[in-house]
Every structure is written in C-alpha cells, then in structure tokens.
Amino acid sequence: MNNTGERSGAARALDACIAAALASEGRPLSIYDYARETGISARMLIHYFGSKAAIDTAVIANVQDGLRAEVTRAIEKAKDRRLDRVFQTLAARDRRGVVPLLRFLLARSLSGDRSAVAAMRAQRSVWKQAFRDMLSAEEARQAMILLEGSLIGLILDELKP
C-alpha cells in the first residue's frame, strides 16, 4: 500500500490474476489469457511481474497462503481433539473457499506444475503435523486418509456436470 492507503497496481494485478487462475480451475493460462481475463495488458503484466512464470509463481504462493489460513482456522476449531470439527469447518458454507483453492492446486499439480506440487506437499505436511499433535500415530494416519477423501469429495461435488 502507498502512503494514502491505496493498493499498488501490482497488488491489484495480482488479485486479478489470482481470480483468473481460480476461474480457470487449474487450466494453465498464457500471458494473453491472463491479459484477457484481467483486463490488464500483457505488457503491464510483464512490467509488474517480470515474466509469465513469475505470475504463476505469485498466484500459487497466494493460493497456498489462502489454504494455510483455512487450515489454521480449521485446526484452531479442533483444539479439543474432535476431528469432526475439522471436517465441519471445512464443509461449512462460509469455508467453501478452500475447495476452489485445492481444486486449482490439484489441477496444476496433475499437469506437472512443480511449484503447485510443492504447495500441495507443504499443505499435506501441515495437516499431518496438526493431526500428529492431536492424535496417536494411527489415528493421525486415519485422519489424513479421511481428510483427503473428504476434500476430494468436496471438489467432486463442486464440479460442474
């Protein structure tokens, strides 16, 4: 933000690129796709980010930050060791934002995007550690299987036929 509290053009461009990437549901976007979807010229996007790869990196980093925030909220709700609260938190209407984030990262991971794969692995590690902190080793393993299955179910429920 600048002195007057306004967000920079680069910050607004990043928000627009994130929205475009999430709307693509993980389909790789070219610099021209980003330009068309955001209304920001390809030249200005390159000015702000330096390259198309830098846009992708910034988008994935911000999606990962959003997931980290969702994970933190869910884990905080489960401090009483009741795993059902984790799943209720993720499935609640006001927490459905996690689904497009995961769908985006999963699609990008499956297409071979290494930074998306790294982001997914990082999220998985956070969940595993949180479950280990709350449960026995076997319960934590089972909780991870249940969580991953639940999230895949949420993603499938959200897909358009």
What are the extents of the domains in the chain?
A: 9-158
pLDDT in tens, 95-123: 556 677 777 888 888 888 888 888 888 88
Statement: residue 136 has pLDDT above 70: yes
Residue 94 confidence (pLDDT): 46
Find the mean pLDDT for residues 134-152: 79
Q: Does residue 67 contact residue 101 with C-beta atoms inside 8 Å?
A: yes
Statement: residue 35 has pLDDT above 90: yes
Residue 51 confidence (pLDDT): 92
Q: CA of 132: how far to CAs of 21, 44, 67, 149, 153, in Å?
A: 33, 46, 19, 18, 23
pLDDT in tens, 42-74: 999 999 999 998 998 899 888 888 877 776 776
Of the listed ranges 15-24, 40-49, 84-93, 97-106, the least confidently predicted one is 84-93
Between the CA atoms of 112, 126, 11 and 50, what dihedral angle is there, to the nearest 10 degrees? -40
Statement: residue 81 has pLDDT above 60: no
Q: What is the 3-state secondary structure (H, E, C) of 4-63?
A: CCCCCHHHHHHHHHHHHHHHCCCCCCCHHHHHHHHCCCHHHHHHHHCCHHHHHHHHHHHH
d(CA 58, CA 118): 14
Asked: is 9-158 a CATH 3.90.420.10 domain? The reply is no
